[in-house]
Structure 1
Amino acid sequence: MIVLGIETSCDETAAAIVTDAREIRADVVLSQLDDHTPYGGVVPEIAARAHLEHLDGLIRRAMADSGLGFADIDAVAATGGPGLIGGVIVGVMTAKAIAAARGLPFVAVNHLEGHALTARLTNDVPFPYLLLLVSGGHCQLLVVEGVGRYRRLGTTIDDAVGEAFDKTAKLLGLGYPGGPLLEKAAALATNPGRFDLPRPMVGRPGCDFSFSGLKTAVRRHVEELGTPLSGEDQADLAAAFQTTVAEVMADRCARAMRRFKEMHPQGGALVVAGGVAANKTLRARLQTLADREGMPFVAPPLRLCTDNAAMIAWAGIERLRLGQTDPLDFAPRPRWPLDPTAKPAIGKAGVGSGVKA
Structure 2
Amino acid sequence: MCKNPAMTHRIAVVVLDHFAPLDLGVPGQVFWSAETPSGEKLYEVVTCSEGRAPVRCSAGYTVQPDHDLDVLDTADTVVVPGIHAGAPLRHGTISPTLRDALRDRPRIMSICTGAFVLAAAGLLDGRPATTHWRDAARFARLFPKVRLDPDVLFVDDGDVLTSAGVASGLDLCLHVVRRDHGSEVANRTARRCVMPPWREGGQAQYVDRPLPQGGGGTAATRAWMLAHLDVPLDLNALAGHARMSVRTFTRRFRDETGMSPGRWLVRQRVQHARHLLETTDLGVEEVARRSGFGTAVSLRQHLHAAVGVPPLAYRRTFRRD
TM-score, length-scaled by structure 1: 0.25
Larger proportion of strand: 1
TM-score, length-scaled by structure 2: 0.27
